[in-house]
Structure 1
Amino acid sequence: MRLLVLGGTEFVGRAVVEAAVGRGWWVTVLNRGRNTVTQSGVVSLQGDRLSPDGLAALAGLSFDAVVDTWSWTPAAVASAAASVSATSYAYVSSRSVYAWPAAAGASESAPLVGPSDDLSDYAGIKRAGELAAVERFGDRALLVRAGLILGPHENIGRLPWWLSRVARGGDVLAPGPPSLPLQYIDARDLAAWTLDALEAGLGGPFNLVSPPGHATMSSLLAACIAATGSTASLRWAEPSAILDAGVQPWTDLPIWMPPGEMHDAMHTSDVSRALATGLRCRPIWKTVADTWAWLQAIGGVAPQRPDRPAVGLAPDAEAAILKELR
């Protein structure tokens, strides 16, 4: 397979490149050159899709498939889809394209948001990106509607924050209930499924996260303790106590959503279509352990995307909540 990856140096794109090289595919990446491609044998081209001639480096080239991880201006997806010579096009989209809040157990047939080019409307621009891919490639457009993405090289900071917090030790505010089910996808599992799907000629939308209950808050935090070797003590708190303290789900306490409408929308997606086409998800302990090993290898500080806000509860705020709970 001749694969073009638009991006390919940071998180999801990097996982796709590594997986494709591991399969012996011919891999070309096109990006702005801000980061170095670490895989040997990969053809690296530079181009800025927001510039008039940003795709000039692709002139005369053809590919079996393209993987596009672009998150912002939909026009960049449209220009790439219209310009590249390829058989199929995988656009890494988001479950955010479903009208909020998505119902519990929502499948790919759930209502969608309208497209938008307003960069403050993440759901709208992702939907616009989907439509741009479909307009050019039709049923050969693979729409990878990912949910929460974790794993080594994460540049949002969710799992790295929990690992760093647990590694510090002491009492750790653990948002309950412990059995709260979580859905996520390891970037490497996303990459493997996407390449399998492209090779099989699949198209259309797929929810791509683990099955509901693949992990829980308890198994996530236990894996963090095991990976770091920490002596931290988890202090479980009821959702109402956390919310009453002004803690923001998802941002102050990454990954966590309290039981109810928000949790159902984020962590109960129907993924039967992806499972039926070969999705396999590694256990939470493996994702956590590998992420911790990567963090240690780079000095313990995870990279942070400049276009995304930092996440995590401030130590003094956590201490105040723990004191009140006692």
Structure 2
Amino acid sequence: MRLLMLGGTEFVGRAVTEAALARGWDVTVFHRGRHAAPEGTRAVHGDRTTAEGLAALAAADGDWDAVVDTWSGAPRAVRDAARLLRERAGTYAYVSSGSVYRYPGKAGSDESFPVVDGDADADAVAYAEDKRGGELAAAGAFGDGRTLLVRAGLILGPYENIGRLPWWLSRVARGGPVLAPGPRDASIQYIDVRDLAEWTLDAVAAGLYGPYNLICPTGHATMGALLDACVGVAGAPDAELRWTAPDVVTAAGIEPWQELPVWLPPGELYDTMHDTSSAKAVRAGLRCRPVGATVSDTWDWLRSLGGVAPHRPDRPRVGLSPEKEAKASDASRLLRRGVGFGVRTGRLAEARGEGLE
């Protein structure tokens, strides 16, 4: 297989590129040159948002069986690249997002759930609308029968440049009492970036098209299993998970998802982001490795970097300050002594708006 990877040097793009190389595929990586492309690829440099960059892509030699695109900005960038490539590639796989579905979601919903409006010709507007516009741009150039829409949920694993799992690993490595937001047995959904990569390559090789929710099945992991795995591989000797009720966490002014990555309290946002059907992708071969493997491999990668993960400049930093963590611990102790606290409410829309990958 001949693959053109648009991007290919960070997180999702890198995982796809490395998986394709491991299969012996011929891989061309088109990127801006800010990071080195994986060894074994043919690199073409250019900024896809400029005329000069598109000219460099147009001048690249060869045709491809498939294109994989992870773009999350202005949809017109997908439009321009897809139009340029539609006579030179077979399938266009666009790594989209579960955020394209309208809010609030419905527990157990699948690919038939209504999506937000999008515009293939637009500049950047907001994450969900941009991703939907990217979907429309890809399909507009390649046609529905040649466009694969990989609607990824929360993405974790090595090379993560958002900081969610790296934050939890760094926190338990620091040791001491660790605020663990309950319920402990609450199911969480995510996709290991390498499982996403393998499924995407299998799908383009098989000629699949249309939308697929790429997320582990409900029940694959829990918040407890995730944090236990973090303590198991990275925890300091005195690290201790202190499980705390959701209302106590939110009453302490802590923002779910942003300050406590991955976690959401029970409610409509939890149903939207941690209870989505991936049955279609599973039928098409999706296999998800155990949560312990994702955590352990991410820790090994993080240690190889000296414990400091890279961070995308267009995404806010995540994590809870020690001061807020202490405040929540104090609130929990007072609650056990009979002092009540009000519960923060709201749809927490920022958890969707800042993106999943």
TM-score class normalised by the smaller sequence: over 0.9
Question: Partners of 1:289 and 1:301 in 2: how far apart?
Answer: 16
In the alignment, what sits opposite 1:141? 147
Is the 8 Å Cα contact of residues 5 and 68 (structure 2) preserved in structure 1? yes
Does the alignment pair 1:114 with 2:117? Answer: yes
Q: Which residue of 2 is the match for residue 24 of structure 1?
A: 24
- Residue 43 of structure 1 and its aligned partner are, at CA, apart by 0.1
Any idea what SS the aligned residue of 1:250 has? coil
- 2:275 & 2:193 partners in 1: Cα distance? 19
Q: 2:99 maps to what in 1? A: 96
Q: 1:170 aligns with which of 173, 176, 184?
A: 176
Distance 2:95 2:7 in 1: 12
Say whether the 8 Å CA contact 1:47–1:55 is kept in structure 2. Answer: yes
Change (3 A) 1:118 1:174: farther
Preserved contact between residue 118 and residue 124 of structure 1 (Cα < 8 Å): no
- Return the alpha-carbon distance in structure 1 between the equivalents of residues 125 and 68 of structure 2: 24
Partner of 2:130: 125
1:212 counterpart residue number: 218
TM-score normalised per structure 1: 0.98
* Alignment length (residue pairs): 325
Aligned to 1:308: 315
Partner of 2:89: 86
> What secondary structure is seen at the aligned counterpart in 1 of 2:92?
strand
Tell me what 1:9 maps to. 9
The residue matched to 1:40 in structure 2 has which SS? coil
- Cα deviation, residue 246, structure 1: 1.0
CA-based RMSD: 1.0
Q: Secondary structure at the match of 2:205?
A: helix
User: Unaligned stretches of 5+ in structure 1?
Assistant: none
Q: Distance in 1 between matches of 2:128 and 2:260?
A: 22
> What secondary structure is seen at the aligned counterpart in 1 of 2:184?
coil
For 1:41 and 1:311, the matched residues in 2 are separated by 34
The two structures have a TM-score, normalised by structure 2, of 0.89
SS in 2 for 1:3: strand
Q: CA deviation at 1:169?
A: 0.7
Q: In structure 1, how many angstroms separate the alpha carbons of the residues matched to 2:40 and 2:325?
A: 47
- Contact persistence 2:181–2:249 (CA under 8 A): yes
User: C-alpha separation between the residues in 1 aligned to 2:65 and 2:322?
Assistant: 49
Instruction: Report SS of the residue matched to 1:54.
Output: helix
Within 1, Cα distance between the matches of 2:55 and 2:154?
34
What code does the residue aligned with 1:107 have? D
Tell me the equivalent position of 2:332: 325
1:180 counterpart (169, 183, 186):
186
Indicate if the aligned counterparts of 1:208 and 1:271 stay in contact, CA closer than 8 A: yes
Q: Corresponding residue for 1:295?
A: 302
Equivalent position of 1:230 in the other structure: 236
Structure 2 gap segments, 5+ residues each = 334-357
Superposition deviation, residue 207 in structure 1: 0.2
